[in-house]
Amino acid sequence: QVQLQQSGTELVKPASSVKISCKASGYTFTSYYISWIKQTTGQGLEYIGYINTGSGGTNYNEKFKGKATLTVDKSSSTAFMQLSSLTPDDSAVYYCARGRTFAYWGQGTLVTVSS
């Protein structure tokens, strides 16, 4: 069955960076993009961007350009999202999801930015 397994909870300091992983299984990894979504209580669900898992090409929501960097390791069927220059506003649950229809989601990674 299709599974997206994300890395665990992160507690990080302001101005630092964090890298979240999303390991896919149960399907051909390079057949579907991986998308990333941010969820906060205040802003709800926000689309961050997606990565073409075959070519490594990326497409970002303008709001997250410079904040998020998406990469992929085809050999391990894993997608990554690095968030940089973190502020408390980046505290959220971050999800990876398969494709552009988000048919399958990871379990979410809680990132808390606090000194």
Partner 1 sequence: DVVMTQTPVSLSVSLGGQTSISCRSSQSLVHSDGNTYLYWYLQKPGQSPQLLIYKVSNRFSGVPDRFSGSGSGTDFTLKISRVEPEDLGVYYCYQGTHYPWTFGGGTKLELK
Q: Does 42 bind partner 1 (CB under 8 A)?
A: no
Q: Minimum CB separation from partner 1 for residue 45, in Å?
A: 4
**Rounded CA separation 61/70 (Å):** 12
Q: Minimum CB separation from partner 1 for residue 84, in Å?
A: 19
Q: Does 47 bind partner 1 (CB under 8 A)?
A: yes
Residue among 12, 105, 110, 112 that touches partner 1 (CB under 8 A): 105
Q: Does 61 bind partner 1 (CB under 8 A)?
A: yes
Q: Does 106 bind partner 1 (CB under 8 A)?
A: yes
Q: Does 103 bind partner 1 (CB under 8 A)?
A: yes
What Rg value do the Cα atoms of the chain yield, rounded?
13
Q: Does 95 bind partner 1 (CB under 8 A)?
A: yes
Residue among 40, 76, 85, 107 that touches partner 1 (CB under 8 A): 107
